[in-house]
A and B are shown apart, each in its own frame.
Chain A
Amino acid sequence: DQQVKQNSPSLSVQEGRISILNCDYTNSMFDYFLWYKKYPAEGPTFLISISSIKDKNEDGRFTVFLNKSAKHLSLHIVPSQPGDSAVYFCAASVLDSNYQLIWGAGTKLIIKP
């Protein structure tokens, strides 16, 4: 039973447009969410996070939105650039619960020129 779901295995977006990556979760105890980005042959790198006390967090071109009632979060990338082509993972945890993260399966984002 996947507690964190990324239902789109891949997403193709035109350069300059907005990319929206989605993530759903089932465990209401999750109170901290993170997005990681992964290039081929590299490890994941941290991108942005959000605590459940917030509904939005921005960092430059990246914004994460959290809808607790729907158990849904999304990552917006505006504008999308070729270097954004990567696999994006959503992860969740109960804060301070021995640091374990539950990961989604990832969404491969392809930015078309």
Chain B
Amino acid sequence: NAGVTQTPKFQVLKTGQSMTLQCAQDMNHEYMSWYRQDPGMGLRLIHYSVGAGITDQGEVPNGYNVSRSTTEDFPLRLLSAAPSQTSVYFCASSYGTAKNIQYFGAGTRLSVL
């Protein structure tokens, strides 16, 4: 089982560049989310989706956009990268009534110079 797949694993951007972090899951989970993890801090929720066509903001949404056109895919777009967005990004999904037990991808390590 592939589970939650994130691409790329590593990325270096220059300030002002845009890019999309990809996330796909093959478990037919309705709920998907994006987190960032910074040193000395817990994971912080960026955006989440409770189903195709529905997205909402989390704790730290500024500078990021998401869309959910299919159940499987939940891409995260950085519109104009800033050094403050240097972080490790995790995508997660969950299903059914155990909505808070989430399955995570391996992460994307992003550096913005």
Residues 71 to 113 of chain A near chain B (Cβ within 8 Å): 89, 91, 93, 95-96, 98-106
Please name the residue on chain A nearest to B4 by beta carbon. A43
Counting chain A residues whose Cβ lies within 8 A of the other chain, the interface size class is 20 to 34
- Decide if A99 touches B48 in the complex (CB within 8 Å): yes
A49 to B99, CA, bound (A): 12
A105 to B37, CA, bound (A): 9
- Residues on the A chain within 8 Å of B107, using CB: 41-43
- Residues on the B chain within 8 Å of A95, using CB: 100
A99 to B47, CA, bound (A): 12
A43 to B100, CA, bound (A): 15
- Decide if A99 touches B50 in the complex (CB within 8 Å): yes
Does B77 sit at the interface, judged by CB under 8 A?
Answer: no
Given known pairs A99-B94, A99-B99, A99-B100, the reply for A42 and B106 (CB within 8 Å) is yes
- Residues on the A chain within 8 Å of B48, using CB: 98-100
Please name the residue on chain A nearest to B40 by beta carbon. A105
Please name the residue on chain B nearest to A39 by beta carbon. B106
- Residues on the A chain within 8 Å of B101, using CB: 34, 46, 49
- Decide if B105 touches A98 in the complex (CB within 8 Å): no
A110 to B32, CA, bound (A): 31
- Decide if A34 touches B100 in the complex (CB within 8 Å): yes
Render B89-113 as a binary contact track against A, CB cut-off 8 A, 1 for contact: 0101010000111111111000000
- How far is the CB of B49 from the nearest CB of chain A, in Å? 10
- Residues on the A chain within 8 Å of B104, using CB: 43-45
- Residues on the A chain within 8 Å of B44, using CB: 103
Does A66 sit at the interface, judged by CB under 8 A?
Answer: no
Q: Besides A45-B103, A105-B40, 7 other CB < 8 A contacts?
A: A2-B42, A43-B105, A43-B106, A43-B107, A46-B101, A99-B31, A99-B99
What is the interface of chain B, defined by CB distance below 8 A to chain A? Answer: 4, 31, 33, 40-45, 48, 50, 56, 58-59, 90, 92, 94, 99-107
What is the interface of chain A, defined by CB distance below 8 A to chain B? Answer: 2, 4, 9, 32, 34, 41-46, 49, 89, 91, 93, 95-96, 98-106
